[in-house]
Chains A and B, each alone.
Chain A
């Protein structure tokens, strides 16, 4: 164990798996950097430095900087995956998925099913997501609900450095395509992370803390906010269970439902757009499967239905925070008291 940043945790998972398995290759724009230039190679190591150093260790035969041609290189990662490699491609910002959507949604996601189970597509697409760095409408989206929508894709959303290294290791070893979301506002977060490789299986939610009154289900950066809200609420005697599903596809419905059945109250916190979101998905799960246990209406804490704005004042108002979560919880706990 040692203290590592989110960035380092990702770097370590990639390095370990590249050492372990010679078929693991990296593709992406400026993931090393300096391609064809006369200065320092490995100048960038990806836009936020997560792949820094891997070029020097593994060389240009395994670390492929690409032209700005997402359809080509994301698609190539899929093609390589069905023909013997385990590519980890970086779609720099998830907002750019529109450029290469067909390769992900119609090709990579569906090979196995369309080909009657004969294909294995072990590709990972790492991608930056999330608001909070004033990057405006085309560089700040969450979009994991879009990928969760497609059968055939697995979707992971780490909530801490520890949760980055283990699931990324799992993603690389997994035989299905995995979209791995990295929140750009979390890259400098630090935590204790094992030095040795470890994998965290998918579809196993993490129970961050347990309390009898309300279940909070949160994803990615929102997990930390939910925990902050839970700690504050605990001081007033309101006890929350915080659940981090870790993956939205597959989704650990059992852990969520078991908790909702015991607390009778559910607040889902989701940084993605509210319509057709994970918040809506998990709320509908509880309404369908645990209706008789519910003591209060399910609440969703999400941004409003609008793109991510640029101005800091607007962006801060856009992103759900601990206060919003606290309010939502107090509202449904109060409803019980009123009843």
Chain B
């Protein structure tokens, strides 16, 4: 239960890595280095990290179009991720997937997903595998407030319940689905009650607070591992950047993001909490920041010069055999 020093340092490093990765991708996209659609996770780091810190390597996660954070939290290689986002041959998916389809099955990361609501059924399937193979594994479905209104998500809640599947449903409520407010789109406006309507115990937590998310995830995953069946967590926070890179966010009142960033940033909050309590000192956290910056710098430098995929690969890997 207690988070030891190493646990705290590891969690901080992961969250910082996500933040640094995303801010760097934001800049690279703006300068034209990155093609396609890119959705950034900055501001939401607690969800991926606090949940994945409670997972074992054999556990599986499904992600969303906003998948960089989940990938990093599930231990995907950041250089290979960056190369994928640049569309390079030795990217995590050999340049075929890009930001929206980053995956590393060897790490239990079943893919970012271009289809809103695409992940929850897959997580149920991963949980079914764990059940049949009797390997003690669990699955986590990360999905957004928008995805919480998709039939696939709601069907998955029921499917997981009737079979008591070992699935944790993690609702990442960042306030918006594209330009649409989650207060409006989630009818009844009470996600935990909605989950409870499916017979699934749920809890709402403040996503700015790593420790609150960690505790909720730990408790839920312990119950799931003990055979309680599915659980649900509703995490509230905000996204710092546009829906995708290039979104001017005029649907948000001026200053909304800045205000949240200056008063409620999860990394600032984590630093204050751990240093004031005397568990960590500022110097060691600063040192992590420097290391992480160098890591991301290096990843970008490598991605920029990495070769593109060979044209012959266009038609490879469509089938296992054909």
Interface residues of A (CB under 8 A from B): 29-30, 33-41, 43-44, 47, 65, 67-72, 95-96, 98-99, 133-139, 304-307, 309-314, 317-318
Question: In the complex the two chains form, what is the Cα distance from A281 to B251 in whole Å?
Answer: 45
Q: Does B125 contact A (CB under 8 A)?
A: no
Within B5-21, which residues are at the interface with A (CB < 8 Å)?
none
Which residues of chain B come closer than 8 Å to A307, judged between CB atoms? 318
Q: Quick check: which of B200-208, B291-299, B308-316 contacts chain A, the rest being far away? A: B308-316
Which residues of chain A come closer than 8 Å to B180, judged between CB atoms? 29-30, 33-37, 65, 67
Contact B149 A312 (CB under 8 A): no
Shortest C-beta distance, A55 to chain B (Å), equals 12
Which residues of chain B come closer than 8 Å to A311, judged between CB atoms? 87-88, 95-96, 98, 308-309
Contact B96 A310 (CB under 8 A): yes
Q: Quick check: which of B41-49, B69-77, B130-138, B171-179 contacts chain A, the rest being far away? A: B171-179
The majority secondary structure among interface residues of chain B is loop
Question: In the complex the two chains form, what is the Cα distance from A37 to B98 in whole Å?
Answer: 30
Contact B253 A138 (CB under 8 A): no
Q: Quick check: which of B50-58, B114-122, B162-170 contacts chain A, the rest being far away? A: B114-122
Contact B314 A35 (CB under 8 A): no
A-B pairs, top 9 by smallest CB distance, nearest first, are A36-B184, A138-B114, A310-B98, A36-B181, A311-B87, A134-B36, A311-B95, A134-B35, A43-B251
Contact A36 B185 (CB under 8 A): yes
The majority secondary structure among interface residues of chain A is loop
Which chain B residue shows the least CB distance to A137? B101
Contact B185 A35 (CB under 8 A): yes
Q: Does B281 contact A (CB under 8 A)?
A: no
- Give me 19 other A-B pairs in contact (C-beta within 8 A), A68-B146, A139-B114 excluded: A30-B179, A30-B180, A34-B180, A35-B185, A43-B250, A67-B149, A67-B187, A68-B149, A99-B115, A99-B117, A134-B36, A136-B36, A136-B114, A138-B114, A139-B37, A304-B314, A309-B95, A309-B309, A314-B308
Contact B149 A99 (CB under 8 A): no
Q: Which of B117, B250, B311, B314 contacts A306 (CB 8 A)?
A: B314
Q: Which of B35, B150, B252, B253 contacts A68 (CB 8 A)?
A: B150
Which residues of chain B come closer than 8 Å to A317, judged between CB atoms? 311, 314
What 0/1 pattern do residues 56 to 67 of B give for CB contact below 8 A with A? 000000000000
Known A68-B147, A134-B87, A136-B98: A314·B313 in contact at CB below 8 Å:
yes
Contact A68 B117 (CB under 8 A): yes
Within B264-322, which residues are at the interface with A (CB < 8 Å)?
308-309, 311, 313-315, 318
